[in-house]
Structure 1
């Protein structure tokens, strides 16, 4: 336990006394502890000379026994055809283990073996058991070789055991303090990425409603405004309906009065018609009486003519009598008196007859005038009768129409009363709709605020999980940035926050655009999703700016139309980012792991050491799993080196070299620079 604590301190606590020591010093102390003083390097070499011929049978037995255990058989499943290559590597490892002085390269090999075991899922207890199985075959081989030299046999066996357990310690130290930490770090990074991806998907999902909420709010606002207008119109309509109803009631009453008057007029016209008929009848009777009177006057005229004739004859007879009386003289004096009286009577009768004739003529003239007047009256009466009959028919028709109008006005009045009630109910309902629309806007505002709070909380978590120079992490963060950008535009158009079109960046100056423009990884740049990303991303920013420009111009309808364009382009961007994220889990995984987490640093000088050389190097970039260096020749690809900086020590393997630069894959520890 003390040894493990010391090794852990060397890796993690630069302030401790062991922080500045080389990791080989720990190996030296472990080896000193494991080895008797009598064991030398030559004993180790002699042990290998005796073991090398026996390694083939020992490893053959080892692999035969390995597949018999179900756990080991499962772990090594798929490696059966590589057993010879693996055995050759084991022999090479044993050769270095027994013939070389333990140093940086020794420790690097042990850690790489531990890495391989962790990678295939071999627990440390099976690793130690496997070592024990090999030692169980190796020790008898050494005793057999040196059976005639027991002292030598003891030393070579001690050398084998000390080197074997030193290898186990170094590997176990790699298991416990190097690989475990790195695995945990990988797990933490993967967990953080999974969390970031989950948050990104969650933010995308919950904010998928933001545009619909904005459109709903716009519709709600419009509905509220329209409802208020309709409510006012309904109030005016109700007032108008009430006035019309009152007017209709008055019109219906006047129609009823008119109908009654018309019916009275019809009765009066009937009376007039009856009176006219009586007048016509009386006129006919008068005409008939006048006719009879005229006939009587004609008869009287005839009588007067007879009387006049008689009077004339009498007057003539009197004249003759007078003449005869005169001739008779005295004798005829009395007859003359009579004749004179007769003549006088005849003259009077003639005058009376003439007077009567004049009167009868005047009467006939008057009767003629009366007859003409009666004829005119009869014509007027007949015309009046015809007119009265037409007027009576017209009045009856008007009466029927007035009756119909009266009925309809009464129906209209009843309908208007019902409409008045209905309109009042509609007005009340519309007012309720307007009130509910206002309540809906309040709830929508609360939902927007709640969504903003959720976004802020999610964004805070996302920032803690985000690794700026990891492509996979950046893709997820770009999704979040994208949704937040869209949400701000939507909230600005909806009136929840303030924003200006001039402040909207173009597609080159957001996090995604800067990553897109600066990326120099060919495998990623050649990917279809990456190449397809620029156009919809450009449309997103353009639509956002256009929406705010329309808003500033007072054209809210156009602003909401631009939000729809923004949403369409946004869906394309998110789909392409998802495609890139999927590619980073698949065909682009190596491209991301090669360049992941490389943070540029400047003016960082460090010391490099190996079993062969040492020198100064310059650290140019740092990642969670490696370093980028330049400077002195630190070694060849595959060499293990130790890097020291500011009291910190790490162990790494040279993964690549090119043009005076190299990439170091960390095997143990990490540098904080």
Structure 2
């Protein structure tokens, strides 16, 4: 009876030690529900039967060990306790916990399960990190597109306003051209009238010149006649002097004749008086003829000037006629040119209006693209939130080489925050941003967690580009806060350059 009781007690103790339900193990940790979900996601349903199978095998083993020696039973208890603690560590996500190291089938199965779970967790981390990287890179590309589209939108809006002003300006120019064309047409009419007047003036000047020539000829004839009259007056004067001399001789002879010559003396005296009167009259005529000749000479001189002025005026009128003809021809050309300009400006007005409408349509489409990209960015934020929560869950697990892979996601998220800042979606302050010592990668890099990785070829070169990413990022935030968007974008471009090296080196560390 005592042996039976001992056997029963041994069987009960074995069952209590070996039968450790999974639910009981996973309830020991706050992270157990996450781990349980992960176990269900990581392994097919057939794998989950391993624990039930282990329970059954432990029951069978309990029957077999009921007759075992106490030292064997103690060893089994120690093994099962170690397995229980190991499984509990696995349920808490600690895949770095030391294994049991047993050679029995159960220990090997648990070790195999742990390796499988660790591998699945590692693969899932890689997948989630890649998902985060790709989604954030897509969001960064969307932010860049939004920046470019925003700039295009601003420029198209400005161009649309400028095109509308151009249409108004072209319309004003067209109106001015039409007014100029009308003025040119009026000028053409005036030139034609002026040309007609010049022709009339030219004919009148020809008549004036002809009249002046005729008057000059007549004045010259009058001058010649006055000279002839002067010659005749000279002859009369000579005759009067001769007559006076004859009368004087007759008077002398009559005086000699005495009484007999008295009558002849009277006649001679009368002849002498007539001769003297004739001389005076001749002198008066000579003076008048001289004055007439002087006046005629003045008239001849004046008529010569009149002829010269008439000839000069005719030349001026002729030249004016030629110039008016040239002006008329140029006016015709100008009128045609202004009409052509007006027609071209009419066409240009239509073309400018079409250009303005096209630019306005582009501006509307660009604005629609901006809104669409903003919508895409919002949708990406949702997917990134889901991926971020998955990343946070998997980050709570412990397995080899986790931090360098998580750092890739952290790094891209850092870049996305800068990109969101550049488009005004978030506000960042330089003094609130982490430096390269206090971020997750920095804490790992400068802490004890990286001791086993410091001999890796990518470890040393990682420090400088990682520091540059943070330095340029903080400068970008400061410049953006100061209103220097161009400077902030330049710093973000430098972040991109350093980021390429960081991601490359992290990939190398993760291999």
Q: Calculate the TM-score normalised by the size of structure 2.
A: 0.76
* Aligned counterpart for 2:193 among listed residues 264, 267, 270: 264
Other-structure match for 2:149: 220
| Separation of aligned partners in 1, 2:121 and 2:252 | 182
Change (3 A) 1:242 1:267: same
| Secondary structure in structure 2 of the residue aligned to 1:526 | coil
Does 1:566 pair with 2:487? no
Other-structure match for 1:414: 343
| Secondary structure in structure 1 of the residue aligned to 2:426 | coil
* Aligned counterpart for 1:190 among listed residues 107, 119, 126: 119
* Aligned counterpart for 1:281 among listed residues 193, 204, 210: 210
Change (3 A) 1:536 1:521: closer
Change (3 A) 1:552 1:520: closer
| Secondary structure in structure 2 of the residue aligned to 1:471 | coil
| Separation of aligned partners in 2, 1:444 and 1:523 | 44
| Separation of aligned partners in 2, 1:296 and 1:104 | 180
Using the TM superposition, give the Cα deviation of residue 477 of structure 1 relative to its aligned residue in structure 2, in angstroms: 1.9
- Aligned counterparts, 1:285-434, within 5 A: 285-321=214-250, 342=271, 346-434=275-363
**Superimposed CA distance per residue, residues 199-228 of structure 1 (whole angstroms, 9 cap, x where no aligned partner):** 211222232244443333223222222333
Using the TM superposition, give the Cα deviation of residue 555 of structure 1 relative to its aligned residue in structure 2, in angstroms: 0.4
| Secondary structure in structure 1 of the residue aligned to 2:184 | helix
Other-structure match for 1:155: none
Change (3 A) 1:521 1:431: closer
Using the TM superposition, give the Cα deviation of residue 416 of structure 1 relative to its aligned residue in structure 2, in angstroms: 2.7
* More displaced stretch, 500-509 vs 187-196: 187-196
Other-structure match for 1:9: 19
Change (3 A) 1:361 1:352: same
Other-structure match for 1:441: 370
| Separation of aligned partners in 1, 2:502 and 2:64 | 57
| Secondary structure in structure 2 of the residue aligned to 1:496 | coil
| Separation of aligned partners in 2, 1:222 and 1:414 | 37
| Separation of aligned partners in 1, 2:428 and 2:216 | 109
Change (3 A) 1:440 1:14: closer
| Separation of aligned partners in 1, 2:74 and 2:450 | 33
Does 1:482 pair with 2:411? yes
| Separation of aligned partners in 2, 1:550 and 1:499 | 11
| Separation of aligned partners in 1, 2:260 and 2:406 | 182
Q: Give yes or no for contact 2:137–2:416 (8 Å, CA) kept in 1.
A: no
Change (3 A) 1:318 1:478: same
Name the count of aligned residue pairs. Answer: 449
Change (3 A) 1:13 1:270: closer
Does 1:236 pair with 2:156? no
Change (3 A) 1:197 1:324: same
Using the TM superposition, give the Cα deviation of residue 369 of structure 1 relative to its aligned residue in structure 2, in angstroms: 0.7
Other-structure match for 2:63: 29
Using the TM superposition, give the Cα deviation of residue 433 of structure 1 relative to its aligned residue in structure 2, in angstroms: 2.8
Using the TM superposition, give the Cα deviation of residue 457 of structure 1 relative to its aligned residue in structure 2, in angstroms: 1.0
More relative contact order in 1 or in 2 (CA 8 Å, sep 6+)? Answer: 2
Using the TM superposition, give the Cα deviation of residue 341 of structure 1 relative to its aligned residue in structure 2, in angstroms: 5.9
**Superimposed CA distance per residue, residues 182-209 of structure 1 (whole angstroms, 9 cap, x where no aligned partner):** 4344323322321221121122223224
* Aligned counterpart for 2:428 among listed residues 499, 505, 523: 499
| Secondary structure in structure 1 of the residue aligned to 2:434 | coil
Q: Give yes or no for contact 2:143–2:419 (8 Å, CA) kept in 1.
A: yes
Q: Give yes or no for contact 2:233–2:282 (8 Å, CA) kept in 1.
A: yes
Q: Give yes or no for contact 1:28–1:102 (8 Å, CA) kept in 2.
A: no
Other-structure match for 1:252: 181
**Superimposed CA distance per residue, residues 476-531 of structure 1 (whole angstroms, 9 cap, x where no aligned partner):** 22222222222122212211122222111111212221122223565421001122
Q: Give yes or no for contact 2:18–2:59 (8 Å, CA) kept in 1.
A: no
Using the TM superposition, give the Cα deviation of residue 109 of structure 1 relative to its aligned residue in structure 2, in angstroms: 10
Change (3 A) 1:340 1:109: same
Q: Which structure has the highest strand share of the two?
A: 1
Q: Give yes or no for contact 1:234–1:427 (8 Å, CA) kept in 2.
A: yes
Q: Give yes or no for contact 2:476–2:492 (8 Å, CA) kept in 1.
A: yes
Using the TM superposition, give the Cα deviation of residue 364 of structure 1 relative to its aligned residue in structure 2, in angstroms: 0.7
Change (3 A) 1:199 1:520: closer
Q: Give yes or no for contact 1:500–1:548 (8 Å, CA) kept in 2.
A: yes
RMSD of equivalent CA atoms: 3.7
- Aligned counterparts, 1:603-622, within 5 A: none
* Aligned counterpart for 1:471 among listed residues 392, 400, 404: 400
| Separation of aligned partners in 2, 1:324 and 1:521 | 180
Using the TM superposition, give the Cα deviation of residue 368 of structure 1 relative to its aligned residue in structure 2, in angstroms: 0.6
Does 1:547 pair with 2:476? yes
Change (3 A) 1:468 1:516: farther
Using the TM superposition, give the Cα deviation of residue 558 of structure 1 relative to its aligned residue in structure 2, in angstroms: 0.8
| Separation of aligned partners in 1, 2:178 and 2:201 | 34
Other-structure match for 1:122: none
| Separation of aligned partners in 2, 1:13 and 1:350 | 178
| Secondary structure in structure 2 of the residue aligned to 1:208 | helix
| Secondary structure in structure 1 of the residue aligned to 2:181 | helix
**Superimposed CA distance per residue, residues 436-480 of structure 1 (whole angstroms, 9 cap, x where no aligned partner):** 222222112112111211111111222233344323333322222
Using the TM superposition, give the Cα deviation of residue 101 of structure 1 relative to its aligned residue in structure 2, in angstroms: 7.4
Q: Calculate the TM-score normalised by the size of structure 1.
A: 0.59
| Separation of aligned partners in 2, 1:305 and 1:225 | 112
Change (3 A) 1:202 1:331: same
* More displaced stretch, 356-365 vs 449-458: 356-365
| Separation of aligned partners in 1, 2:204 and 2:22 | 137
* More displaced stretch, 489-498 vs 468-477: 468-477
Using the TM superposition, give the Cα deviation of residue 7 of structure 1 relative to its aligned residue in structure 2, in angstroms: 7.9
